[in-house]
Chains A and B, each alone.
Chain A
């Protein structure tokens, strides 16, 4: 190569491009570091919570049974804990940054509580109109999964995160197919596929962050 390329300048250019790439990777890593934790927490909450519910219903878990008076409150605590953790993680993710994306983040955060209340109210309304407790035990887990799936899709669009898109689709599929297994089997379907998908997503996300994408 005897062109008029100056080796020193091209070396320099390559080095500067590497500096840019390394720094932007570092920013990505620091900004996204809490996300595997959030996915993992939700995964554990679903896996343990729905397994407990499944073990509380008659005709559920064939190996052991847990009284509903124990399973239901633990399920509630797990889900409430995951919601609180997500809010804290969400606030930490956006700390120190202010501007146009603050609005999007705030709307997204509020969406979770609003949608949660709307889906719960619909279930109550159905019960008030004679929905049996067996059907209610099919509606609530699926309604919840569909809500999470939809919100994950919105999050995927907002932050252009393919992992959130995949997760959203899995949640929609799990929520949609679980009722076909009937109660109480729908609970273990939610635990294994929903919780499992969340845990696998957490691991994939963590590995990719460590490798720098």
Chain B
């Protein structure tokens, strides 16, 4: 992933679905992870849709997807990476600047 140029909006986040996912993950404190079903519930997305967008975010190394086993049931945990959190903050800053963030 090449770093975004100044004034350009990060194309990975600049899509309503992925923006919602990133915004939701950003509400978790640093160091916390969330399960796939709970994230799905918070977003009201279908599993297929959520998986597709998560893969794009994962490819950009903005989210970390971990598969663990609790007993026999596999549990998927999702968290924002440091780069992902930074990208989200840069993105919101860029939006505010576009809206005349001179103040």
Q: Is B one of A's binding partners?
A: yes
The A-B contact count (CB < 8 A) is 77
Known: A97-B33, A98-B33, A101-B32. A17 touches B24 (CB 8 A): no
Closest to B19 in A: A19
* Residue A130 is within 8 A (CB to CB) of chain B in the complex: no
* Residue A213 is within 8 A (CB to CB) of chain B in the complex: no
CA distance A100 to B34 in the complex (A): 12
Comparing A22-30, A51-59, A116-124, the segment that makes contact with chain B is A22-30
Chain B interface SS verdict (over half): helix
Could you tell me which A residues sit within 8 Å of B by CB distance? 5, 9-10, 13-14, 16-17, 19-20, 23-24, 26-28, 30, 95-102
CA distance A95 to B75 in the complex (A): 13
Known: A24-B24, A97-B38, A99-B32. A17 touches B96 (CB 8 A): yes
CA distance A5 to B19 in the complex (A): 23
Closest to B20 in A: A23
Residue in B30, B35, B98 whose beta carbon sits within 8 Å of that of A96 in the complex: B35
Chain A interface SS verdict (over half): helix
A98 touching B92 by the CB < 8 A rule?
Answer: no
Please name 5 further chain A to chain B contacts, defined as beta carbons within 8 Å, in addition to the given A17-B95, A100-B32, A102-B32, sorted by A numbering.
A10-B99, A20-B23, A97-B34, A98-B33, A99-B29
Contacts of B29 in A (CB 8 A): 99-101
A17 touching B32 by the CB < 8 A rule?
Answer: no
Contacts of B39 in A (CB 8 A): 96
A97 touching B42 by the CB < 8 A rule?
Answer: no
Closest to A95 in B: B38
